[in-house]
């Protein structure tokens, strides 16, 4: 027993026992940058610290962001973009130099806690599907050789397109055309202790089927909810049901113990004419209630012990994103750093009275 304690404190555990904790608390945010009018990364640090948001995801490994985050204590997950998967999958040396240049070079001053390998690779076009597992393994091997595997967690985020029959949650399974890629990926992730990362949007589900989904159920508002006839579990909000659908698919595939983390969820505050649910009021309601839901530190009906953790999408409205208007309006903040709507976070732009007071103090 004493040896065990010593091993624990002095870190003699073999990697098989190490599970990286890449997420502090339950609330994080995605810092997307497909825009030409955003504040500087240094201002973003000020904004995040004022909002007390510690967990951040970016979709690349941008130098200016990683430098700005240095010494801040903010915990960041960097992304290997889909366009890099082929090269990194084909060549371990390529993976090693990517990890050295984009991760090792910034540690430990910048708290890089994870590398997301691609984003929503499976379930859409199969353009990158065949490269995902090779890229994951090569990046993990590089991280492991650099003795960083207990610091930096390797994951990949999935959209709900990987699932078939997601309602009721207990009926959810992985789609037939995804299984061949998903099974070996989950096998590897279970070996290295990585979670299943899910991009879950009650907003999109509601927009797709407004006739059958009560908007209050999507917005965490009081509602009759939904029952799962197989498990006899009751759901009072759609996000919990989406997470439990993922747990059911994992269990069906033989990975009952794997944790699900929500890597993107959010609600658009503005949309096109056919996107009537994208309003400031709905976005405020969803994001405010999501904060309250996460602050409870509780699990889902199917996995009550697995505390729900989620990264909100997104930090800013991004004016250069393609697609419908809603895509450019998921931000909790506007590009000038002011809040898009009030869910309890302070914005960068204080009122003129505040700045007058500050200048008098100075």
Tens-digit pLDDT profile for residues 295-321: 999 999 999 999 999 999 999 999 999
- pLDDT score of 8: 37
> What CATH number has the domain spanning 27-161+172-201+256-299+307-343?
3.20.20.80
Q: How far is CA 72 from CA 53, 109, 297, in A?
A: 12, 8, 25
Q: How far apart are CA 214 and CA 102, in angstroms?
A: 44
Contact 118, 156 (CB under 8 A): yes
Q: Is the peptide bond before 108 cis (omega within 30 degrees of 0)?
A: yes
What own/partner pairs with CB < 8 Å and gap ≥ 24 does 293-296 have?
293/220, 293/237, 293/239, 294/26, 294/27, 295/26, 295/27
The pair of three-digit structure tokens given for residue 276, joined into one six-digit string: 């009537």
Q: What is the pLDDT of residues 112-125, one digit of tens each?
A: 999 999 999 999 88
Please determine, for residue 355, whether its predicted confidence score (pLDDT) is greater than 70.
Answer: no
- 20 band by pLDDT with thresholds 50, 70 and 90: low
pLDDT at 10 over 60: no
Does the pLDDT of residue 147 top 80, yes or no?
yes
Tell me: pLDDT of 2 over 50.
no
Could you tell me the pLDDT band of residue 61, with boundaries at 50, 70 and 90?
Answer: very high
pLDDT band (50, 70, 90) for residue 167: confident
DSSP annotation of 346 reads P
What is the average pLDDT across 59-73?
98
**If pLDDT is split at 50, 70 and 90, which confidence band does 66 have?**
very high
Report yes or no: 108 and 63 within 8 Å, Cβ to Cβ: no
Torsion (CA) 319, 321, 323, 324 in degrees, nearest 10: -30
205 token code pair: 């589900």
pLDDT at residue number 126 = 83
The pLDDT of residue 19 is 59
pLDDT at position 24 over 70: yes
Confidence at residue 9, expressed as pLDDT on a 0 to 100 scale: 38
What pLDDT does residue 21 have?
A: 73
Residues β-bridged to residue 55: 28, 75
Report the alpha-carbon distance of residue 128 to residue 111 in Å, rounded.
29
CA nearest 93: which of 148, 138, 130?
A: 138
Q: Which residues are marked as active site?
A: 120, 264
> If you average pLDDT over residues 138-158, what whole number do you get?
97
28-42, 287-301, 339-353: the lowest-pLDDT one: 339-353
Rounded to 5 degrees, what are φ and ψ at 13? -65, 145
Region 242-270: mean pLDDT is 98
Please write the tens of the pLDDT for every residue from 209-228: 999 999 999 999 999 999 99
SS3 label, residue 316: strand
Contacts of 33 (CB under 8 A, 6+ apart): 58, 59, 62, 65, 316, 318
Task: Identify the three-state secondary structure at position 357.
Answer: helix
Assess whether pLDDT exceeds 60 at residue 12: no
Q: According to the model, what pLDDT value does residue 23 have?
A: 86
How much of the chain, in percent, has pLDDT values that exceed 90? 86
Q: How do strand 27-30 and strand 111-119 relate by DSSP bridges?
A: unpaired
pLDDT at 22: 78
Instruction: State how far the alpha carbon of 57 is from the alpha carbons of 62, 95, 234, in Å.
Output: 12, 20, 32
């Amino acid at each position: 027993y004493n040896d065990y304690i010593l091993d624990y404190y002095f870190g003699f555990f073999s990697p098989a026992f190490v599970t990286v904790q890449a997420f502090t608390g339950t609330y994080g945010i995605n810092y997307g940058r497909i825009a030409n009018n955003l504040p500087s990364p240094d201002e973003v640090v000020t904004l995040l610290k004022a909002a007390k948001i510690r967990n951040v995801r970016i979709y690349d490994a941008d130098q200016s962001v990683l430098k700005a985050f240095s010494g801040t204590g903010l915990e960041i997950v960097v992304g290997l973009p889909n366009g890099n998967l082929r090269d990194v999958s084909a060549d371990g040396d390529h993976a090693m130099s990517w990890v050295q240049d984009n991760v090792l070079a910034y540690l430990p001053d910048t708290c890089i806690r994870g590398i997301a390998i691609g984003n929503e690779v499976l379930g859409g076009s199969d353009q990158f599907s065949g490269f995902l597992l090779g890229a994951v393994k090569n990046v993990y091997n590089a991280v492991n050789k650099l003795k960083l595997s207990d610091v930096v967690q390797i994951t990949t985020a999935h959209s709900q397109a990987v699932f078939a029959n997601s309602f009721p949650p207990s009926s959810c399974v992985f789609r037939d055309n995804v299984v061949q890629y998903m099974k070996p990926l989950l096998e590897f992730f279970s070996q290295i202790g990585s979670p299943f990362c899910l991009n879950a949007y009650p907003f999109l589900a509601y927009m797709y089927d407004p006739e059958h989904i009560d908007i209050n159920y999507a917005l965490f508002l009081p509602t009759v909810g939904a029952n799962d006839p197989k498990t006899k579990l009751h759901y009072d909000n759609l996000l919990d049901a989406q997470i439990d659908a993922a747990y059911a698919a994992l269990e069906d595939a033989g990975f009952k113990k794997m944790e699900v983390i929500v890597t993107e969820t959010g609600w658009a505050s503005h949309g096109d004419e056919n996107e009537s649910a994208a309003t400031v009021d709905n976005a405020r309601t969803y994001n405010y209630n999501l904060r309250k839901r996460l602050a409870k530190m509780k699990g889902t009906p199917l996995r009550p012990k697995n505390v729900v953790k989620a990264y909100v999408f997104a930090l800013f409205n991004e004016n250069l994103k393609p697609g419908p208007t809603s895509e450019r309006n998921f931000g909790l903040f506007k590009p000038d750093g002011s809040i898009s709507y009030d869910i309890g976070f302070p914005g960068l732009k204080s009122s003129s009275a505040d700045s007058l007071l500050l200048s008098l103090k100075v």
